[in-house]
Structure 1
Amino acid sequence: MTYVDLVLKQLSTDDEREALIGGDTRLTRAQARDLLFRLADGLVRRGVGPGDGVAAFVGNTPEAVLLTVAVHLLGARLVYVPPEPGTGELKALIDHAEVKGVVVDPAFSDRLDGWDLNDLPGEPAERPAAPDFTTVMYTGGTTGLPKLAVHRSDNRWTDRANTPPLNLLCNTLITHGSGSGGCRLALMTGSKLVLGPSAFDADTCVRLIREEQINATFFVPPMLYEVLDHPDCPGPQFGVVIVGGSALAPKRLRQAIEKWGPVINQGYGMTEAMAIAMMPPADIDFAKPDTLRTVGKANPVMEVETRDGDVWVRGPSVMEGYWGERPLAETADGWFNTGDMGHFDDDGYLYLNDRSKDVIVTGRTSDNVYSRLLDDFLVTLPGIRQAAAVAQPDEALGEVVHVFLVSEGPDVDVDRIRASVVAELGELYQPRGVTVVDRLPLTKVGKVDKRKLRSLFR
């Protein structure tokens, strides 16, 4: 049984119960089921069958969510295409993915030609779910050239079918891991799925939480920070909040727990290897500061190792490989180097030091500055809301530390910040440059875009 079977089962009961909400659209279970089969019929009429590739260039809408299920229903290969790339890269990406066609959200039609999502639905022809399907996901591209990660169908998601129904708000793009996974979980558990806009907006998020009585959601850290800083930040109404995608500052984690209670779950994963580790609320102890820094213990079904400081993983949530390249099983016995640097403590908790590409190599002996460690410390200083440390080229030292700060007010005492960093982390971590900005640039996934910050020095 696949997750699609479970979705069909949920959509076949309690017809008038709301299933999908996004923008001005509100679909009951019966309406969602009808549209799902109509979308599948539209794909079949365009020649899509088992194994064929269908690219989805879509935003956060109910129709787009059901489209992704329809592709899997037919046993086809779903290729998620998020809006990050430029037009030229989009076309090259789709050519590389070898798809039968591209379904395009009307809002994106000026960037790419394809099958209009609104024109796709045909007749509501019911079909049994195919036993196998494939999902291909565009990597975030924060550490190098984007690729297409291939995930085969498996039963990981069906293990969660007994989760009680929730009112779940999806804040991230449905074409990325957390968004697609959250949508899948909501549909197969009979939850009410509420879609935030494709471009995250804290005002809208806070409003939806209140109006839709949201009790479950997930954020990447910058989204979480904006909601915590919002004047109408909601109170303790959540049963579960999942945070992942990038490092979460311990100070902000403490703030979220104090605001909402022990409901914050930190998830560690990535496009190529989802659900690597989880830190549940019960394991967090304010009296033990390290519990605010760890990403938790390894997923029981995953193998996780550190080799020379690099985190390697193997297991069912690891991709098969990159599209067009040899599978991991042939090249590395299924093991995948995450690109993260970390270590385990004696109790089996995993700590991430930094992304390998974000380490700043500086000093006369070319030592490593872990930018995440500096980011986490800077936000503990009075008046600093967000921070991002990056490498700035330097003729004498190769690289020096430059920090970008979002402050609560216009006056920032740079000398005090430097002195505080040296006192806490040592001379090596001292910022040689400090830039105060209104906000940090984010990728479409919502992560701080350090590659863009580094490009400012070229």
Structure 2
Amino acid sequence: MENGRKASNSTEAAFPQALIDAFRRHPASVAFEHRSRAVTRGEVLALVTRCAAGLRAAGLGPGRAVALATEVTPEGFAVQIAAHLLGCRVTGLRPGLTPAQLAHVLAADVDVVVTDAAPPPPELLRAAGDLPVLRLDSDLLAAHPHAGPLPGDGLVARGRPDDAALVHLTSGSTGRPKGCVLDYRALTAYWSWQAAHGDERIARLAAGYRRFLLFGTLTSAVMFEHLGLCLLGGGTAVIPAPPLEFPRLVERLRITALLMTVPRLHHVLDALRAGPGRATDLSGLRVLIVAGSPLAPHTLAEAVRRIGPAVHQAYGQTETGMLTLLTPDDLAHGPEGAATSVGRPWARTELSVRDAEGLPVPTGATGEIWARTPCAMTGYWRDEAESAQALRDGWVRTRDVGHLDARGFLHLTGRSRDIVIVNAVVHYCGALERAVAAHPDVDRAYVVAAPDRRTGEAAHAFVVAAPGRTPALDAVREHVEAELGVAGLPSTLTVLTDVPVAPSGKPDKRALLARVRAKAPGAVT
């Protein structure tokens, strides 16, 4: 067992062999619905074969590295699967990377860059420098229109267990994105990419993925994770044409499963509250997973009331995949307090709450969340110091703070590093946000820390008002003090019509902090 992870069965074929075999069994079944184009599983295999032939011609194979700058298309998916089939290390270049970030990522031992942009963007070419930049259409697909099976026994995965398979980039909120590395052992053992889902909870979840809404980017760790659940379960990934008009899009495309960030959920709830014209019919929705940032209990309750029993709340990280899931059954029949949690540990996941010395704390006590799962990263690419901080004896330190209750439900308090230190006293921003958002005048709240000459740091809250309400700073302060016993927090309260969103889909706290520093006009404070 390496890094404390449970080793996968030695006879188990490497990723993506389970997907290849599943597609072979049902070649006529539709894998992707790309706008008005249906692409069967057999047609995807043909695309994979042609892409693999082109990548092999470019010198790629086990241990080599390819960076992909591709859109959400069947072809973009096929080239990634082809690279994995050859045993390559794949890094997805997500939209929104700055030129400096692009150059930093491509300098990390990448051999080839593949793009589907025509022509390739100048900033990508500049960042690539002397690296070969292949076009998906002309250099791979058009150049190998009649590619046959790969040498050997057909489409056989060649990934070696200890080789890096996939590098997921973090948001880069500290400047440079970190690369979370999954090796082929972890990717082969991944809960959503296995042919036989032995876990009953996985099987129940997969049953709802008949028509999974695929949007955003395939470089998203969570989107790629749940795409596997759809495709291996026999479902169809539906790729819509822009613009994404939620929630009407769900009804029009007959979507049964989708992922959503908390800011997008708020937009959906705004639309459902307004209800212009005829009501949106979401009765066909079976799974709506909300993840990415904390969800206030009152917002969760409203989502269930307006959308129905499809609403799930998930918690996880790029470094680990999904760790917990709060299901409709938990909300309807679980213990009191389940709605304030992020659910129970997911398949083959162990959670432990630790103190500052790394020792387990009693049930119900607050500490840092540590996680152990066979799906976890092996470390950060080319960053041994940061890897050593995050990985301890087979466990991943999430840097999130919370507690496990007696029934095994995880309750999050905040980030261990998302803090504000006022008069030498540490306060977790997550706890402050929940206290502010619990005020009846507030719909959602986000807290940032900024330097303060009197107190060292001060907490600044940004809120979106509840419909028809106007938050007052004094009333919110009194409410926070009653909840947490924290006098004088927050220092300022700024009411916004909406909260800025980062490229990751999460609330952009760097943009909020910039507003504090600039004292941005136009906000009510």
Give the deviation of 1:112 after TM superposition. 0.7
Q: Structure 2: which 5+ residue stretches go unaligned?
A: 1-12, 126-132, 356-366, 518-525
In structure 2, distance between residues paired with 1:430 and 1:330 = 31
In structure 2, distance between residues paired with 1:2 and 1:336 = 24
In structure 2, distance between residues paired with 1:316 and 1:167 = 28
In structure 1, distance between residues paired with 2:310 and 2:28 = 30
In structure 1, distance between residues paired with 2:382 and 2:35 = 37
Residue in 1 aligned with 2:134? 115
In structure 2, distance between residues paired with 1:21 and 1:195 = 6
- 2:255 is aligned, of 209, 214, 220, to 214
Asked which structure has the greater CA Rg, the reply is: 2
Q: Once structures 1 and 2 are overlaid, which stretch shifts more, 27-36 or 315-324? A: 27-36
State the percentage of identical aligned residues: 30
Residue in 1 aligned with 2:148? 125
Give the deviation of 1:136 after TM superposition. 0.9
Report the AA paired with residue 211 of structure 2.
Answer: N
Q: Work out whether residues 160 and 185 of structure 1, in 8 Å CA contact, stay in contact via their aligned partners in 2.
A: no
**Aligned residue runs from structure 1 range 141-152, under 5 A:** 141-142=172-173, 145-152=176-183
In structure 1, distance between residues paired with 2:439 and 2:333 = 19
Residue in 1 aligned with 2:79? 67
In structure 2, distance between residues paired with 1:173 and 1:386 = 26
Report the AA paired with residue 226 of structure 2.
Answer: G
Offset from partner CA, 1:373-421 (integer Å, 9 cap, x none): 3333434444533321111221111111211122346955444433433
CA root-mean-square deviation: 2.9
**Aligned residue runs from structure 1 range 122-271, under 5 A:** 122-123=144-145, 124-127=147-150, 128-132=155-159, 134-142=165-173, 145-153=176-184, 154-156=188-190, 157-158=193-194, 159-160=196-197, 163-164=206-207, 166-196=210-240, 203=245, 205-230=246-271, 231=275, 234-271=281-318
Q: Aligned pair in 2 of structure 1 residues 285, 330: CA closer, same or farther (>3 Å)? A: closer
In structure 2, distance between residues paired with 1:169 and 1:296 = 23
The TM-score normalised by the length of structure 1 is 0.89
Q: Work out whether residues 296 and 444 of structure 2, in 8 Å CA contact, stay in contact via their aligned partners in 1.
A: no
Give the deviation of 1:86 after TM superposition. 0.6
Residue in 2 aligned with 1:454? 513
Q: Work out whether residues 464 and 496 of structure 2, in 8 Å CA contact, stay in contact via their aligned partners in 1.
A: yes
**Aligned residue runs from structure 1 range 299-314, under 5 A:** 299=346, 301-308=348-355, 309-314=367-372
Report the AA paired with residue 160 of structure 1.
Answer: H
In structure 2, distance between residues paired with 1:418 and 1:457 = 18
Report the AA paired with residue 388 of structure 1.
Answer: Y
Q: Work out whether residues 251 and 281 of structure 2, in 8 Å CA contact, stay in contact via their aligned partners in 1.
A: yes
**Aligned residue runs from structure 1 range 29-428, under 5 A:** 29-96=41-108, 98-106=109-117, 109-113=121-125, 114-119=133-138, 120-121=140-141, 122-123=144-145, 124-127=147-150, 128-132=155-159, 134-142=165-173, 145-153=176-184, 154-156=188-190, 157-158=193-194, 159-160=196-197, 163-164=206-207, 166-196=210-240, 203=245, 205-230=246-271, 231=275, 234-285=281-332, 290-299=337-346, 301-308=348-355, 309-326=367-384, 332-362=392-422, 364=423, 366-382=424-440, 384-407=442-465, 408=467, 412-428=471-487
In structure 2, distance between residues paired with 1:171 and 1:219 = 10
Deviating 4+ runs (over 6 angstroms): none
Residue in 2 aligned with 1:6? 18
Offset from partner CA, 1:214-251 (integer Å, 9 cap, x none): 11111121122222222465433222222222212111
Q: Aligned pair in 2 of structure 1 residues 234, 185: CA closer, same or farther (>3 Å)? A: same
Offset from partner CA, 1:413-450 (integer Å, 9 cap, x none): 44443343334443436322122223212222211121
Give the deviation of 1:54 after TM superposition. 0.7
SS of corresponding position for 1:136: strand
In structure 2, distance between residues paired with 1:78 and 1:393 = 40
In structure 1, distance between residues paired with 2:461 and 2:92 = 34
Residue in 2 aligned with 1:26? 38
Q: Aligned pair in 2 of structure 1 residues 251, 4: CA closer, same or farther (>3 Å)? A: same
In structure 1, distance between residues paired with 2:26 and 2:353 = 48
Offset from partner CA, 1:107-133 (integer Å, 9 cap, x none): 772431232233231234334231426
Give the deviation of 1:41 after TM superposition. 1.8
Q: Aligned pair in 2 of structure 1 residues 288, 361: CA closer, same or farther (>3 Å)? A: farther
SS of corresponding position for 1:422: helix
Give the deviation of 1:53 after TM superposition. 0.6
Q: Work out whether residues 328 and 336 of structure 1, in 8 Å CA contact, stay in contact via their aligned partners in 2.
A: no
Report the AA paired with residue 125 of structure 1.
Answer: G
Paired residues, number: 452
Q: Work out whether residues 262 and 506 of structure 2, in 8 Å CA contact, stay in contact via their aligned partners in 1.
A: yes
In structure 2, distance between residues paired with 1:174 and 1:298 = 25
Report the AA paired with residue 117 of structure 1.
Answer: L
Residue in 1 aligned with 2:3? none
Q: Aligned pair in 2 of structure 1 residues 88, 288: CA closer, same or farther (>3 Å)? A: same
Q: Does 1:445 align with 2:445?
A: no
The TM-score normalised by the length of structure 2 is 0.78
Q: Work out whether residues 237 and 260 of structure 1, in 8 Å CA contact, stay in contact via their aligned partners in 2.
A: no
